[in-house]
């Protein structure tokens, strides 16, 4: 599936768990982090395979505010280098040289996160490892660029199996206070560019990839990326159904769309937000019933004011009352 087909910015849930857990280990309140960043309350147990990337950006911003920029940069390097990179490094083992891998880096990262926009370009005789992310208007965009720079730096360190630091960096923003704290003092920094980029010296491209055995985690299970927009919306929103009344306004915010754009995209696939929400509620209701919970508990968890209201909604989707469904799975 091409990135153009995968329009919803998401990241793997496992990566989100790593960042939340590391921040929690350094003293931040886990439940408060999840609530304020907009991540599902049951993130650490969730079976959903991905979460909105906008929530992760918010998590990084909030955590850095509480821990301080300098301390959080160290935490970010630790999380990326020791917990996040080892998962994706398996995809680099089939390439003989660093140049071979970087030439294919767009496909490598699309396999890992289809909504990502990562690429390798040559400009005026220089090679750049680039990331283009949305949301420049957000107050935490500087952290998006800082995260990309730290990630690329840690990745090059792993591929070379030695400490590596960039000598030139490009950013989209003109605000650079945070970015300056993740690059060496003598690193050249260019602002207001088309994308975030780290210059890779030409002499490194012919070097063999030198991954150490300890740099690799266990080979990760294949994550199933849904092919349709509707399926992806369903998967991303499902963890939020148990928490609150899922309005189209909140759904659009989670998915980084305007309400009108979300409605238009769903209409294009011959569905609507109401249909998706009804099916989400039905899916989660079935899971809760199968777990043995009472119907009153299920109705309450899904935000219904009373059991009859829930029963009508359940029957509208399934054709069965929840009492009948409970008997069939009991």
Q: What is the pLDDT of residues 283-305, one digit of tens each?
A: 888 888 988 889 999 988 888 88
- 258: tokens are 């305007």
Alpha-carbon gap, residue 144 to 76, rounded angstroms: 12
**Angle at Cα 145 formed by Cα 143 and Cα 147, nearest 5°?**
65
Mean pLDDT over residues 2-7, rounded? 45
Q: According to the model, what pLDDT value does residue 167 have? A: 98
Q: According to the model, what pLDDT value does residue 220 have? A: 52
pTM above 0.85, yes or no: no
**Using 50, 70 and 90 to split pLDDT, how confident is the model at 3?**
very low
Model pLDDT for residues 122-140, shown as the tens digit of each residue: 999 999 999 998 888 888 8
Portion of the chain with pLDDT greater than 90, in percent: 45
Model pLDDT for residues 159-216, shown as the tens digit of each residue: 999 999 999 999 999 999 999 999 999 999 999 999 999 999 999 999 999 887 777 7
**CA 199, 202, 207, 209 torsion-angle sign:** positive
Pairing of strands 196-200, 126-131: antiparallel
Alpha-carbon gap, residue 50 to 12, rounded angstroms: 4
Tell which residue, 224, 20, 188, 4, has the closest CA to residue 111. 224
**CA 40, 41, 43, 49 torsion-angle sign:** negative
Q: According to the model, what pLDDT value does residue 157 have? A: 95
Portion of the chain with pLDDT greater than 70, in percent: 94
Domains of the chain: 10-204 (3.90.1520.10), 229-329 (1.10.10.60)
* Alpha carbons within 13 A on the beta-carbon side of 190: 13
Alpha-carbon gap, residue 116 to 109, rounded angstroms: 7
């Amino acid at each position: 599936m091409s990135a153009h087909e995968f329009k919803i910015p998401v990241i793997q849930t496992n990566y989100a768990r790593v960042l939340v857990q590391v921040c929690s280990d350094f003293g931040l309140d886990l439940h408060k982090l999840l609530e304020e960043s907009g991540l599902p309350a049951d993130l650490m147990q969730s079976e959903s395979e991905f979460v909105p990337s906008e929530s992760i950006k918010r998590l990084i911003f909030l955590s850095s505010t509480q821990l301080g920029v300098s301390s959080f940069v160290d935490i970010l390097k630790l999380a990326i280098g020791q917990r996040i990179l080892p998962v994706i490094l398996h995809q680099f083992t089939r390439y003989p040289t660093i140049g071979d891998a970087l030439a294919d880096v767009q496909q490598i990262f699309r396999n890992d996160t289809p909504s990502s926009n990562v690429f390798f370009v040559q400009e005026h005789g220089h090679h750049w490892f680039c990331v283009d992310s949305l949301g420049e208007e957000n107050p935490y965009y500087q952290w998006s660029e800082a995260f990309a720079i730290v990630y690329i730096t840690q990745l090059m360190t792993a591929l070379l199996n030695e400490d590596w630091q960039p000598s030139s960096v490009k950013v989209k923003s003109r605000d650079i206070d945070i970015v300056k704290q993740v690059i060496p003092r003598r690193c050249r920094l260019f602002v207001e560019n088309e994308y975030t980029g780290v210059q890779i010296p030409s002499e490194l491209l012919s070097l063999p990839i030198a991954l150490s055995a300890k740099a690799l985690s266990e080979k990760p299970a294949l994550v199933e990326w849904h092919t349709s927009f509707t399926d992806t919306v369903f998967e991303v929103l499902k963890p939020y159904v148990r928490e609150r009344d899922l309005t189209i306004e909140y759904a659009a915010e989670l998915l980084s769309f305007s309400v009108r754009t979300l409605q238009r995209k769903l209409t294009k696939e011959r569905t609507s937000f109401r249909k998706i929400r009804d099916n989400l509620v039905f899916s989660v209701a079935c899971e809760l019933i199968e777990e043995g919970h009472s119907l009153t508990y299920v109705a309450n968890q899904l935000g219904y004011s009373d059991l009859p209201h829930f029963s009508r909604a359940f029957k509208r989707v399934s054709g069965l009352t929840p009492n009948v469904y409970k008997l069939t799975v009991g």
